[in-house]
């Protein structure tokens, strides 16, 4: 028997509402915004929660000056179309692209995430 269920990813950021709107639009998930936190959840219960952190400083991937503490891999059917869509939502394509079956981006708070082909 499992000790816990439904793992939730919690991400620190300066503006929880803005990051929830970004990921909610990308994933087409329900968005809830509160004072110092926000969340996006799928219909089957997967959730990402965003917490406001004073003096938030984004990671400096790929350097280790301020290492990433997490990143999300999003599976897509078409890298070019997905790239255009996430950039339109506010993502930035990272200049360091170490692979060909995926692309690295920074969300509006500076967290790296990848768009990956299956």
CATH number for the domain harbouring residue 8: 3.30.720.120
pLDDT at 27: 96
* Residues 32 and 77 placed together within one structural domain of the fold: no
pLDDT at 99: 85
Q: E strands along 64-101, which residues?
A: 72-76, 92-93
Q: Which domain holds residue 5?
A: 1-55
Whole-structure pTM value: 0.82
* Residues 65 and 86 placed together within one structural domain of the fold: yes
* Residues 23 and 77 placed together within one structural domain of the fold: no
* Residues 63 and 47 placed together within one structural domain of the fold: no
Burial class (CB in 10 A: 0-12, 13-18, 19+), 101: exposed
* Residues 32 and 65 placed together within one structural domain of the fold: no
pLDDT at 104: 94
* Residues 45 and 74 placed together within one structural domain of the fold: no
In this structure, are strands 30-33 and 8-13 parallel, antiparallel, or unpaired?
unpaired
pLDDT at 67: 86
| Regions of the chain where pLDDT drops below 50 | none
Look at the chain and report how many structural domains it folds into: 2
Q: Domain end: 15, 35, 55, which one? A: 55
* Residues 118 and 105 placed together within one structural domain of the fold: yes
Facing residues of 20 across strands?
none
């Amino acid at each position: 028997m499992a000790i816990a269920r439904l793992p939730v990813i919690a991400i620190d950021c300066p503006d929880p509402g803005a990051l929830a709107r970004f990921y909610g639009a990308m994933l087409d998930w329900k968005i809830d915004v509160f004072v110092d936190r926000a969340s996006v959840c799928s219909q089957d219960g997967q959730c990402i929660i965003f917490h406001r952190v004073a003096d938030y400083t984004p990671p400096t991937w790929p350097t280790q000056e301020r290492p990433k503490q997490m990143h999300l891999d999003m599976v897509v059917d078409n890298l070019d179309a997905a790239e255009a869509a996430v950039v339109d939502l506010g993502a930035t394509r990272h200049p360091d692209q170490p692979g060909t079956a995926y692309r690295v981006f920074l969300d509006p708070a500076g967290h790296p995430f990848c768009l990956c082909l299956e």
